[in-house]
Amino acid sequence: MLVEDARIKSDNFDTYSMLRIGDSVTKIQVTVMQKDAEPAGAGEMGLPPLAPAVANTIAAAGGPRLRAQPFYIEGKLRS
């Protein structure tokens, strides 16, 4: 993402460089709060970063770069 004078200078989505978790300027923390009111659960907020984190961990460990889900098809890693 190109930023100049506190304004985004990226032209469009085809030239926009997506912000990655490693580019964050602050620590990200997910907190699950107990409550009695609906809706309940923790899946919606904490789950979206899970698949990319697993894919990056597999690649960092020497496995293939996984770019599609599901990661496994017929018992084999899908790359």
pLDDT digits (tens, 9 = 90+) for 34-44: 777 776 665 56
Top-confidence residue, 31 or 47: 31
CB atoms within 10 A of CB 28: 7
* For range 2-13, the mean pLDDT: 71
* For range 7-15, the mean pLDDT: 69
For the record, the structure tokens of 48 come out as 């979206």
CA torsion angle 50 68 72 52 (round to 10): -20
Please give the DSSP secondary-structure letter assigned to residue 70.
S
pLDDT at 28: 76
Mean pLDDT score of the chain: 75
Distance CA 48, CA 69 (A): 13
For the record, the structure tokens of 79 come out as 């790359």
Say if CB 21 and CB 27 are below 8 A apart: no
pTM of this prediction exceeds 0.85: no
- 11 pLDDT more than 70: no
pLDDT at 20: 77
For the record, the structure tokens of 44 come out as 């919606």
Say if CB 43 and CB 36 are below 8 A apart: no
